[in-house]
Structure 1
Amino acid sequence: MAAPSRLSVLVFCFFFLVSHLILPTEASINQDLGALMAFKAASDAGNKLASWNSSTHPCNWVFVSCLQNRVSRLVLENLDLHGSMEPLTSLTQLRVLSLKRNHFSGPIPTLSNFTSLKLLFLSYNEFSGEFPVTVTSLLRLYRLDLSHNNFSGDIPTAVNNLTHLLSLRLNDNQFSGHIPYLNLSKLQDFNVSGNHLSGEIPKSVLGFPKSSFAQNPSLCGAPLVKCKDTHPVPFKPDGSVGPNIASPLTPRSNPSTPVKNKTAPKTPSNTTHHHRHHNGASKMSPVILIAIIVGDVLILAIVSLLLYCCFWQNYSAKLKEGNRSKLLEGEKILYSSSPYPPSSSTQIGLERGQMVFFEGMKKFELEDLLRASAEMLGKGGFGTAYKAVLDDGNVVAVKRLKDAQINGKKEFEQHMEVLGRLRHPNIVSLRAYYYARDERLLVCDYMTNGSLFWLLHGNRGPGRSPLDWTTRLKIAAGVGRGLAFIHGSCKALRLIHGNIKSTNILIDQDGEPHVADFGLYGFAVPATKSNGYRAPEAMDGRKSTQKSDVYSFGVLLLELLTGKCPSVGESSGPGGGGAVDLPRWVQSVVREEWTAEVFDIELMRYKDIEEEMVGLLQIAMTCCAAVPDQRPRISHVVKMIEDIRGVEISPSHDTSDSVSESPSLSG
């Protein structure tokens, strides 16, 4: 009986798993498929979604991304779509939904099913009706953009439910009423301009610029015009509210003129009494005098307090705005000391410059880049690099050339046109650039695994996943190929990199190296000191050449072999002492026949690689020859590296785990 019983349990477990896991997953994806097909049938009259068909998996469709086999990201922008978005409400696992620049109309349907939604962009459509209240139940929402539609009515206070909100854009609609008090501590981007809002701007949004509230004629308060003072309604002597208006039956009297008593003629006694009363009034008792003085002091104190409060409010608002600017400098990309005017991208293109895009880059407006949340990746010789997350979820790297020496716009644009055409698997492709009088920006691909410097030197403590030998050899070959491509890409210009170092070697999600910052040598400030990579001729006033790049590449190979930073190479062994440059230290160690002491201790765990490591060491030392003419061409260096194993070094399966993701640079 034991065997049948055990078999029954196994059969039961199998059917349980099928019914509760496999079938629901299949049903869910069929639900997503049905929702998307219904949406296409209702909205895509121009057949812009031609690749969508029921015979293929929706996760393979254009504009659709999936997570765990469920539709999680839907970006349908500028596709001339019409009608309602109602069918999409069945996509319960959506995290990103963007329907920008289409022709959707009518009220927003119930969105309560979007419990995982983080980004919602519905701008530049024809949606109408009141603010979609069900949006306020999407507690995971980070960005909400309902701008440039026909929404009307009040902005509900329930917006405060969205405690994670970073962006709230309601501009260019027909919203009316007051701006509610917003208790959204994480809000970075707020805009209600171009509506019919009225009343005083709440103090909770004082930190946002004037452009966030413009074109609301009835709106007042900082940072717009000051609200008009409202005079209090006077009280009647009997305690009721209202102006003290005399009854038509009551004779009017002048307070300065005593009323004549017609029934009581003036007598000497009356006259005397009146005279005594006048003299008594003219003589104030000390108590009354003290009371008047105290009252004057109190009034003066109250007026002073009111003036102080008014001054402090304005000062704190400016202080808050200043602090917010400093905060944004850390959290968002700030491109100039003075903000760009709140105008259209066309106006910005004419007045300030324009974004120029190269092949393969999805175009976006400059305002999108200015609003992108970002983190600083590091500061180099040409400026600061940022990771920028655009509203649609795309991630790019932006380099701000603040410290570059650029002679003029024409020279810059010509140089960028050359660099923008360069495409190779081992270089970081330039996707776009921006030039204005005070600002130059480069937009490049973002690499998820950070730099080679981090992978070699970051977190050397317990728990670190070191780079294995195969990965290091693959990186060496990949960087060499990228540099060889740069040297041979434009024979007339004889392009050089000019700044080869481990922080300029970026690693993608597959562990492939990409050479960054190439072609910018012409904009570099003349070097005044060594960084450990520069060739000797680059330090004594001579012009850098492609052979100077070969020297820097040789130092990079030594860095891969030794695990040491080039600028802090320390001699080890008898007689060793202070810091020297890495090539000289390696030469001294090899000369004393301590070759094994050269290699990174993290490589000692691998067997049967000594011959390959020595081979790469010989190549590196050849590249680091003091005389430029004694250094090989980079194409020959790549051939020598590939010959170390007899075959071309390519990504291998056993190296994927060795590329650890940088905690500070991960996407």
Structure 2
Amino acid sequence: MGAHAAWLVRASASNLIFTFFIFLSSAVISCGEGDANALLKFKESLVNTAALSNWDPSKTPCNGSRANWNGVLCSNGHIWGLRLENMGLSGFIDLDSLARLPYLRTFSFMNNDFTSPLPDMKKLGKLKSFFMSNNRFSGEIPDDTFAGMRSLKKVYLAHNNFTGKIPSSLASLPKLLQMRLDGNHFEGQIPEFQQKGLRIVNLSNNKLEGPIPQNLQKQNASFFSGNKNLCGPPLAQCEAARKTEAPTDTKPLKIALIILAILLGLVLLVAVIIIVIFIVRRRMNQTELLRQQSSLGNQCNTPTPRTQLPPAATIEHVKSTRKVDSMKLSFVNKERDTFDLQDLLKASAEVLGSGRCGASYKTLIMSGEALVVKRFKQMNKVGREEFHEHMRRIGRLNHPNLLPLVAYYYRRDEKLLICDFVENGSLASHLHGNHNAEKPALDWPTRLKIVKGVARGLLYLHNELPTLALPHGHLKSSNVLLDRSYQPLLMDYTLAQVINTEYTHHLLVAYKSPDFLKHGQLTRKADVWSLGIIILEILTGNFPTFYLTQGNTNDVELMAWVKSIARENSEVFDEEMRNTTNSQAEMRKLLKIGLACCEESVESRWEMKEVVEKIEEVNIVDDDQRTCSSPFDSVLSAIPT
């Protein structure tokens, strides 16, 4: 009997241990679904997921810091971000699935087609930034949507269809730095934002009213434009404040203002005289240098046609009055001979130009290499890691029609990009500069060669940088250099990622496209539009003057230039092209391609791949050598001119 009881005790203990292990195993399985399962669950809530076709359950999303799945950002084997931009996604955003990613800190769903209300963002309490601009989100945002998100720094909800009041929980986010709510239908008064570190608060083009809170009064006035009933600094004074001002005798005040104006006028006059004397003396000392003037084509900058560049100078100007705290340059190509910043500062240099983006200098270092150093003004808000990562990404690009980056220099208030000097100058200088025996006008075969090279380089950028809305973003004739054999080299590409956002629409060409001017949105087809402008400029020899206008140009003026070329058709070709009598058919074919690239409607405009395919079919052949029609002729004939 005792033995039987002992056996029962042992059996019960064995069953208990077995049951415990079964429970522990099921717990491990239920808790170990992992990042991959969370993302696949999230994908089920989306529609039109062709761009996410490589989200393969048999592969892990991350391999160290390298992503195996499209749009996934990895760090040390963990998912810290999602960048699902320009993918045509719709459906709804399943935050419950994303909440199962413990290291997720940022995501971007910009330029898609989401139409649902904004999800309850406080489910992702550790999020640092999110970007949902340029969708069709709608409805009111509940007041507590962002409650408790103490790490949130960047909120981008611009150009959607949100209504109602701005949620007050946004105003209580302690670390908020940037917020874009422009282009919606928000109404009511602006909450009292108290954050001291606020840099950008864009509330333009809504239905807001009342006084602007004191903490936002130092923001740019354009951030509040398009709100009919907003008032107070930096906009006009509120009507109520004007009415409450006590009436006073204004005569003494007017007299005091007149006296002050006279004194200020005298001070300004003296200052002008001193400046004029200084300039005259300086120019007298630089008579020889002033003879060495440059035409339009400078490198890494954009002067206007037939203007003259500043005289030679020393790159010591880069150093300014501040002490350079580090002489270390970062090289993106390990095969290049290295040098340091001190080598550049010691070398004599020539100022190539100074424009809106910054100043450019040509310098000759001790090894005999001719380099161009470009100093940027509007990159001071780019973080160190963000800047380094973007430069390394540029350094990995390799194509015969891209001007490679040699090295760069980062400092919080100083950014330098260094590239090789290309002696033959820019496309703009060859099209619009003075021509002579040493610098003849470009003939038709050379112009076609340049167009093909530009198109190939642009297609390469679009293929290699699939997640960027603007793979180039600043394509124009003065940003196309020509080597000795007239092969084009694109430069100043991908600047939109590192230039301060409040300046991009003033500085970059893509923001002058009809996409942005009419709808405030940018797609990759903005680069196609810029390519079309270059094609028309090359064929006509006419400079698109609307590029010279700072800020947003008039879209009527913009399209008028394109439509005038379409009306004139074959009469528009540059008369400086010689020996092209028998190439008129091919020139007309390229002209129609350029016009197709400049379609005002984004939907009607060709894709980059299609444009390059059509350009490759243009040849240098005589009319009488064409024995049969090309299948592309029927496509071209359908394009309205």
Q: Give me the TM-score of the superposition, normalised by structure 1.
A: 0.42
Bigger radius of gyration:
1
Q: Give me the TM-score of the superposition, normalised by structure 2.
A: 0.44
